[in-house]
Amino acid sequence: MRSVEVGDKDLKLYFCGMTPEELQHYFQSKDLPETLEIQQDMQVFDVQRFLSTSFIHVSLWKKDLSKCPSWIRLLKFKDALEAKEEA
C-alpha cells in the first residue's frame, strides 16, 4: 500500500494503486456484464446501480479510504471482473 497526500489527509491506495476517480474511469472503459458474482456470498444483479451507489458512498467517506466498505467492495468487484475476463 502506498500513501498519497490529498489535501490535509493521507489517502491510502490499495494494491490496485488507483484513486476512486481512476477506478471509475477504469470501469467506464470496460464492457461490463449486467450481473457479476464477486465472491460466493456477494452477487451483483445490477452492475450499473452497484457502481453508481458504491462511488457515491466512497465520495461521502471522510475517513481512511482503505476502511471504506464500498471501496473494498469496488476492489473486490474489479478483481472478480478481471478473473472473469481471464477465464
Range of the domain at 43: 2-86
Q: Around Cβ 83, how many Cβ atoms within 10 Å?
A: 12
Beta-sheet strands, E only, within 15-69: 36-39, 42-44
Q: Which residue has the cell 466498505?
A: 69
- pTM confidence score: 0.80
Tally the domains of the chain: 1
**49-61 tens-digit pLDDT:** 999 999 999 999 9
**What's the pLDDT score for residue 87?**
81
The mean predicted confidence, pLDDT, of the chain is 84
User: Helix H segments across 32-68?
Assistant: 47-60
Average pLDDT rounded to a whole number, residues 22-33: 96
Question: 489517502: which residue's cell?
Answer: 11
Question: What is d(CA 38, CA 75) in angstroms, rounded to the nearest whole number?
Answer: 10
